[in-house]
Amino acid sequence: MPQPIAISTISHINWDDLDTDKFADEEALIADLLASNPLSEGQRRSAVRLGRDLVEKARATGRKKGMMESFLEEFGLSNSEGLALMCLAEALLRVPDAATRDDLIAEKIRSGDWGAHKGQSDSWLVNASTWGLMLTGRVIGAPRALLKGPGKFVQGLIRESGEPVIRAAMMQAMRIMGEQFVLGRDVEAALKRGQRIVSSGQAAHFSFDMLGEGARTQADADRYFEAYSNAIDQVAKSKHPKAPPEQSSGVSVKLSALHPRYEAVNESRVMDELYPRLRTLCDRAAKINMHLCLDAEEADRLVISLKLLERLTAEPSLQGWDGLGLAVQAYQKRSTRVIQDLIKLARTSGMRLMIRLVKGAYWDSEIKHAQVSGYPNFPVFTNKQNTDLSYIANARAMLAGSPSIYPQFATHNAHTYSAIELLAADAGVGEYEFQRLHGMGEALFDAADAGGKVRIYAPVGAHEDLLPYLVRRLLENGANTSFVHAFLDPDVPVEHVVEDPIAKVEAGPRRHPRIPTPPRLYGPERSNSRGLDLSQLSARDAISNAMAEMRARPVIAAGAIVSGEALTASGEDVLSPGDGARIGTCLEASESVIHQALDAATDYQKDWDQLGGAKRASILRAMGDTLEENAPRLIALMAREAGKTLADGVDEVREAVDFCRYYATQAEADFEGPTRLPGPSGETNHLQLHGRGVFACISPWNFPLAIFTGQIAAALAAGNTVVAKPAEQTPLIAF
Ligand code: FAD
């Protein structure tokens, strides 16, 4: 178990404490936020009025939409064509051989109704692409025999010239489309294009985001590190040395790009290996007092990112730099505390921090991840208006924390924008900025005539690295709760585009009624097995303690529990495959013990069968609950005996627990009492299922707990008794 390394802390903030709020009760939190009255009654009315004015003005100018917006409006992820395009964009440039590429194109293009999008967009590029796709679809879809007559000449020509032409054209089309979403393939190009945007008055500065995140290998991480280093050097060259960070362009860094194991569970590796790289980047940025923002990523990474930030603020070489920044996601339940703690950190460290408030870009995956992981609740709000309220409350706190922090508000939402302007005026704070994404929000900030206060977050890089970014934008803006979605749709009246989120929160419900919390994922049928959130120190400590206990008291497994023989430690040593240490003793069953076990199982089978499905179900449920209660010990044992990672261990215990609960439900449904069958009058027939006898269950070493338990639970549920044998490598877990 990696031990956290000692870091010189200066702020005395215990970041791990934030975890106590990670899965807080949404309704209670929202009640607190409402009670804090982030906007007065008058401000609420004004924010709505201002927001609506802006939307009307923006719509009236008939301003051309950004490429991103046009694409989203026409395709998005809500139709099969949009999905087909995303699949192509994702896969096409990576598929190594021509034949597979042809198959992929054929499958994806054939599946769409491209004609329905023909000429629909007000972007020529989107329309041109649609034409190309439609033509390709016809050519691919048409049998040769139909390609006759003058009207079919072009299609025939393409058809005859063969797949390579289509393939080359598609590859090129994907490249062109991909490049529309980035400001440049490299920083040099992005800086040049950015300069034109600044000259046009649309923005004051940029934050260049080097595409690339979630490094899977060290080679990826090295490549991204080089890209960030180069970006900082290039942006530095274009910066006036005396310009403060808030008045010049900077860069945004995704920490997950810098290390393939950027996870809380690897805290010491993160501190030993990722941190020095981050400090190198910060040293370069600090030399010229440039803005460098750490982007916010998944909720599980929040605490570790704060620890990294704090360590940077204590770095002697960085003293005097006031360009260090962090993004905070308002959709996280912990955001209010994070903002308070960051203000405290800025004050105690003496380093002014630039804080970018965002709503959060990973909402869908946070919801899924929490459900799949069996967390006790979600780390994020489930109602959009709750996030809006949290954003406004955090904005107010940030303005109050200025100038210790420099507030940066990233949003494309006219209401949010208006609320912030009102709050800033009320607080008498003039030093803050807005941020928008490249290709989005131009119309809003033009209508507000706020280009001079805007920093554009601009992705830079190659098409190959674009996809995660693009999919986040599509998910975010494809949602019908999204401001951009409503704003773009001329059929949505302005009163619906801009509403008072606080009024919506007040009207309730205070959490989304159709998003079950993770424990209730399976509804009334069974409760979801409980996960352990390894990003939390308390969960990791529980496993560490179980390991320590195991070291102090090795496990003894007896070959057949049923024998009733006293357990002694005179069996064979069981050694850990990781370090060869002895973790326990296994007493193998003798032949006579095996016979005893078989006899006992045979004798008892009738009684067990007669217990009925419902009674067996309650025993199985109790078995699941007991496994769940012992999760830390089982995970520790699986790590020691089977060499499992902790995360795999968590999943395995959960699967075992779920098997018990799942088969309990089956036992109740199928094995409780006879069912009457339909039949001719005068005759009654009943069907009743019974166990068949004694089952032998043998576990595989690679799923020593889950599959072992699953086999046993299924056989028991159906009224059988079981004689079980573990894999030779994992007797202690089976025991
Ligand atoms: P709105 O339409 O008002 O809000 C949409 C947002 O509401 C969603 O993105 C989601 O956060 C939230 N939401 C939607 N449905 C629900 C629901 N059912 N329950 C709860 N909340 C919901 N995001 C990051 O995560 N990390 C970053 O570092 C980051 N940097 C950014 C930098 C800039 C300059 C910008 C403009 C955005 C950045 N984002 C980042 C993305 C940002 O989170 C989204 O663009 C933002 O959430 C959209 O908010 P909005 O006010 O423009 O739109």
Rounded distance from Cα 435 to ligand 1 centre (Å): 12
Nearest CA to ligand 1 atom 17: 384
Tell how far CA 572 is from the center of its chain: 45
Between the alpha carbon of residue 121 and those of residues 127, 130, 174, 190, 489, the distances in Å are 6, 9, 18, 26, 12
- Residue 686 phi, psi (nearest 5): -125, 145
CA distance 353 to 347: 9
- Point out the ligand 1 atom lying closest to the alpha carbon of residue 416: 51
Nearest CA to ligand 1 atom 14: 384
For β-strands 694-698 and 205-210, DSSP reports them as unpaired
CA distance 68 to 441: 10
Rounded distance from Cα 643 to ligand 1 centre (Å): 40
The H or E element that residue 437 is part of is: strand 433-437
- Point out the ligand 1 atom lying closest to the alpha carbon of residue 380: 20
Rounded distance from Cα 108 to ligand 1 centre (Å): 30
When mean pLDDT is compared across 343-352, 594-603, 715-724, the lowest value belongs to 594-603
- Point out the ligand 1 atom lying closest to the alpha carbon of residue 358: 43
Nearest CA to ligand 1 atom 41: 361
The tokens for 664 are: 């309990």
Please say if the pLDDT value at position 147 is more than 50.
no
β-bridge mates for residue 406, sequence order:
354
Query: What is the band of 458 on the pLDDT scale with cuts at 50, 70, 90?
Result: very high
Rounded distance from Cα 265 to ligand 1 centre (Å): 27
β-bridge mates for residue 207, sequence order:
250, 457
Rounded distance from Cα 679 to ligand 1 centre (Å): 61
CA distance 287 to 654: 50
CA distance 457 to 472: 14
CA distance 640 to 139: 59
User: What is the Cβ-side half-sphere exposure of residue 375, based on CA atoms within 13 angstroms?
Assistant: 25
The H or E element that residue 32 is part of is: helix 26-35
Please give the pLDDT value at position 7.
46
Rounded distance from Cα 222 to ligand 1 centre (Å): 29
Nearest CA to ligand 1 atom 38: 358
Nearest CA to ligand 1 atom 4: 482
- Point out the ligand 1 atom lying closest to the alpha carbon of residue 327: 28
Query: What is the band of 5 on the pLDDT scale with cuts at 50, 70, 90?
Result: very low
CA distance 115 to 566: 78
For β-strands 685-687 and 205-210, DSSP reports them as unpaired
Tell how far CA 294 is from the center of its chain: 17
* Residue 520: CB atoms within 10 Å: 12
Rounded distance from Cα 179 to ligand 1 centre (Å): 23
- Point out the ligand 1 atom lying closest to the alpha carbon of residue 476: 9
Nearest CA to ligand 1 atom 15: 384
Residues 256 and 262 sit within 8 Å (Cβ to Cβ): yes
Average pLDDT of the residues in 72-96: 70
Nearest CA to ligand 1 atom 46: 359
> For the chain, what is the mean pLDDT?
88
CA distance 542 to 650: 12
The tokens for 721 are: 């008794």
Rounded distance from Cα 367 to ligand 1 centre (Å): 14
Rounded distance from Cα 709 to ligand 1 centre (Å): 43
Average pLDDT of the residues in 635-651: 95
CA distance 330 to 360: 7
Rounded distance from Cα 4 to ligand 1 centre (Å): 32
Residues 58 and 69 sit within 8 Å (Cβ to Cβ): no
Average pLDDT of the residues in 39-43: 98
CA distance 724 to 389: 56
Residues 420 and 362 sit within 8 Å (Cβ to Cβ): no
Helix axes 41-60, 414-427, angle to 10 degrees: 130
Please say if the pLDDT value at position 51 is more than 80.
yes
Top mutation candidate among 26, 326, 359 for ligand 1, by most atoms within 8 Å of CB: 359
Structure confidence by residue, pLDDT tens digits, 153-169 = 545 554 555 566 666 76
The H or E element that residue 503 is part of is: helix 501-507
CA distance 124 to 338: 44
Rounded distance from Cα 278 to ligand 1 centre (Å): 25
CA distance 289 to 505: 42
Structure confidence by residue, pLDDT tens digits, 278-335 = 999 999 999 999 999 999 999 999 999 999 999 999 999 999 999 999 999 999 999 9
Please say if the pLDDT value at position 10 is more than 80.
no
Give CA torsion, residues 655, 658, 664, 669, to 10 deg: -110
Please say if the pLDDT value at position 712 is more than 50.
yes
When mean pLDDT is compared across 141-155, 375-389, 471-485, the lowest value belongs to 141-155
Percent of the chain with pLDDT over 70: 84
The tokens for 473 are: 């934008």
Rounded distance from Cα 74 to ligand 1 centre (Å): 21
Structure confidence by residue, pLDDT tens digits, 499-556 = 999 999 999 999 999 999 999 999 999 999 999 999 999 999 999 999 999 888 877 7
CA distance 455 to 248: 9
The tokens for 143 are: 């049998």
Top mutation candidate among 476, 480, 485 for ligand 1, by most atoms within 8 Å of CB: 476
Top mutation candidate among 26, 358, 505 for ligand 1, by most atoms within 8 Å of CB: 358
What is the Cα Rg of the chain in Å? Answer: 31
Rounded distance from Cα 501 to ligand 1 centre (Å): 15
Go through the chain and tell me how many residues it has. 735
Task: Show the 3-state SS of 379-425.
Answer: CECCCHHHHHHHHHHHHHHHHHHCCCEEEEEECCCHHHHHHHHHHHH
**Which ranges of 36-162 would DSSP assign to H, the alpha helix?**
41-60, 67-74, 80-91, 98-110, 124-141, 153-161
β-bridge mates for residue 294, sequence order:
253, 326
Between 539 and 558, the more confident residue is: 539
Peptide bond into 519 cis (omega under 30): no
- Residue 211 phi, psi (nearest 5): -55, 140
Ligand 1 lining (C-beta closer than 6 Å): 295-296, 327, 329, 331, 358-363, 380-384, 386-387, 410-413, 416, 435-437, 457, 476, 479, 481-484, 512
β-bridge mates for residue 311, sequence order:
none
For β-strands 324-329 and 675-677, DSSP reports them as unpaired
Nearest CA to ligand 1 atom 43: 360
Rounded distance from Cα 357 to ligand 1 centre (Å): 9
CA distance 227 to 472: 22
- Point out the ligand 1 atom lying closest to the alpha carbon of residue 472: 41
Query: % helix / strand / coil in the chain, to the nearest 5?
Result: 55, 10, 35
Amino acid symbol at 576: S
Question: By CB neighbour count within 10 A (0-12 exposed, 13-18 middle, 19+ buried), where does 471 fall?
Answer: middle
Rounded distance from Cα 430 to ligand 1 centre (Å): 24
Cβ neighbours for 99, distance < 8 A, ≥ 6 positions apart: none
Question: By CB neighbour count within 10 A (0-12 exposed, 13-18 middle, 19+ buried), where does 594 fall?
Answer: middle
Helix axes 218-238, 275-287, angle to 10 degrees: 10
* Residue 677: CB atoms within 10 Å: 10
Query: What is the band of 68 on the pLDDT scale with cuts at 50, 70, 90?
Result: low
- Point out the ligand 1 atom lying closest to the alpha carbon of residue 456: 34
Please give the pLDDT value at position 2.
43
- Residue 646 phi, psi (nearest 5): -60, -40
Query: What is the band of 145 on the pLDDT scale with cuts at 50, 70, 90?
Result: very low
Please give the pLDDT value at position 84.
73
Please give the pLDDT value at position 422.
98
- Point out the ligand 1 atom lying closest to the alpha carbon of residue 440: 36
Structure confidence by residue, pLDDT tens digits, 378-415 = 999 999 999 999 999 999 999 999 999 999 999 999 99
- What 3-state DSSP class applies to 184? strand
Between the alpha carbon of residue 439 and those of residues 69, 350, 443, the distances in Å are 7, 36, 10
- What 3-state DSSP class applies to 606? helix
Cβ neighbours for 233, distance < 8 A, ≥ 6 positions apart: 284
Structure confidence by residue, pLDDT tens digits, 180-221 = 678 888 999 999 999 999 999 999 999 999 988 889 999 999
Residue-wise DSSP of 203-258: -SEEEEEES--S--SHHHHHHHHHHHHHHHHHHHHHS-TTS-GGGS-EEEE-GGGT
